[in-house]
Amino acid sequence: MARTHAAAYAELRDRAQVRIVCARSAEDARPLAESLGAEVVTEWDAAIGAAGVDAVDICLPTPLHRPVAERALAAGRHVLLEKPVALTVEDADAIRAAVAVSDGLLMVGHVLRYLPEVVELRRVLATGEVGRPLAVNAFRLSTPPDWNEWMLDADRSGGTLVDLMVHDFDLAAALLGPAQRVHARAAAGGRHVMALVAHEGGEAAVEGSHAMPSSFPFTAGLRVLCRRGVLEHRFEAHADDEGGNIGGGVSSVLRIHPAGGEAREFAGGRNPWEAQIERFLDCVEAGVEPEDGTLAQARAALAVALAARRSLVSGQPERVSPS
């Protein structure tokens, strides 16, 4: 993810300069830092405290999100924090408390809100062309996250529910309003999960998997049934040779099916991480909070994932903790 963010900053050099790349291994980080004209440090306190640093982009393992974000906010830095915001609502609330007393703003990297096809889907909904959403179906299917050791440890990554499906829980809430309760079932040792989520504005069925075979491309989809039509987004990508489930061969298409009208397609093509980081820079420069990728949105998506985890244990629907 750090490489992905770095590639976006390289395209936005006229907006921001990456000054420091912080990693446990200076040797591993050096090629990335050199590509950005940045220096390497191995202590995150030193990176945060360096003179001239305005913002901190946190692409660390999830258990480090809270301590590093708290330290950066205490230093008055602006923070872009990768999803999921944390592993517990208590840690998310601690980050919220740190934001409240900081001069810095915080944005959480729920990047699907900046995917061009999702942006267009929400724009079409806002026009009223297909009426209000009634139901959402989403899926996100991946091979096991074996590109690093900590991702395979559900205690550190949050597993399929918290690390992967949190994307779709966030989008469902953006389309149907706050989640109220969730009923989940799992297969493949908990690595393939199906969840039915009741929202204020309708029902969402969400499927997520870290159990796909190596030959299976990363595949995701979002279908929104509306009063006067259907919107459907389909995404597919080959694995990244350097690690990760999204590399080359990306296909991303939104299909719009209005009732009584001709179907049409939209494919935006822009890198969503670049769009997300550009919006973060806009917010920093203007001193305004983001509309998408807020801490409240990220906390709400985490709460759904954690309620789904409780449902797997209880075998019953579980209420989603309020924000």
What would the pLDDT profile of 53-99 be if each residue is shown by its tens digit? 999 999 999 999 999 999 999 999 999 999 999 999 999 999 999 99
DSSP β-ladder status, 106-109 and 78-82: parallel
CATH fold of 112-274+302-319 reads: Dihydrodipicolinate Reductase; domain 2 (3.30.360)
pLDDT for the residue numbered 314? 98
Name the burial class of residue 28, with classes exposed (0-12), middle (13-18) and buried (19+) by CB atoms within 10 angstroms of its CB: exposed
pLDDT in tens, 243-294: 566 656 789 999 999 998 899 999 998 899 999 999 999 999 999 999 999 9
Pick the closest to residue 271 from 85, 6, 18, 59 (CA basis). 6
179 to 94, 163, 183: CA distances (angstroms): 22, 18, 12
The alpha-helical segments, DSSP class H, found in 128-178 are 154-157, 159, 166-176
Please state, rounded to an integer, the average pLDDT across all residues of the chain. Answer: 95
DSSP 241: T
Contact 152, 164 (CB under 8 A): no
Strands 39-41 and 20-22: parallel
Ordered by start, the domain boundaries in the chain are 2-110, 112-274+302-319
Query: What per-residue confidence (pLDDT) applies to 130?
Result: 98
Whose CA is closest to 86, among 280, 303, 283, 277? Answer: 303
* pLDDT given for residue 322 in this prediction: 82
Whether 179 contacts 172, CB under 8 Å: yes
CB burial string 213-229: b at 16+ within 10 A, e below = eeeebbbbbbbbbbeeb
Could you please state the CATH topology (level 3) that the domain comprising 2-110 is classified under.
Rossmann fold (3.40.50)
Contact criterion met (CB below 8 Å) for 275 and 114: yes
Mean pLDDT for the stretch of residues 300-312: 98
> What global pTM score does this model have?
0.95
